[in-house]
């Protein structure tokens, strides 16, 4: 599933880290990450997914339309 705010993983990680008051982990080059070939191929590709059709055709209403709202709700529950 995709939310209403497509973002690269590093943006999501930085936002989550800021919510909990920690420094985001350092970026690691894919070739230095020690990933299996399958995992490396997954992370090497950039995919953008739109959710408009899902919402329109299936009538889906997201409880948290953006990753920011979803992560903020998780952080609030844990506080």
Q: What integer pLDDT is reported at residue 49 of this predicted model?
A: 85
pTM for the whole thing?
0.80
According to the model, what pLDDT value does residue 45 have?
81
pLDDT tens for residues 6-61? 888 899 999 999 999 999 999 998 889 999 999 988 888 877 788 999 999 999 99
**What does the pLDDT read at residue 1?**
59
Q: Rounded mean pLDDT of 57-72? A: 96
Parse the chain into domains and list their residue ranges.
Answer: 9-78
- List CB contacts of 68: < 8 A, sequence separation 6 or more: 5, 15
């Amino acid at each position: 599933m995709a939310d209403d705010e497509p973002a690269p993983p590093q943006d999501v990680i930085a936002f989550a880290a800021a919510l909990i008051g920690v420094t985001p982990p350092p970026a690691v080059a894919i070739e230095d990450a020690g990933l299996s070939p399958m995992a490396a191929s997954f992370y090497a590709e950039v995919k953008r997914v739109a959710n408009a059709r899902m919402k329109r055709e299936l009538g889906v209403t997201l409880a948290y339309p953006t990753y920011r709202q979803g992560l903020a709700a998780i952080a609030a529950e844990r506080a």
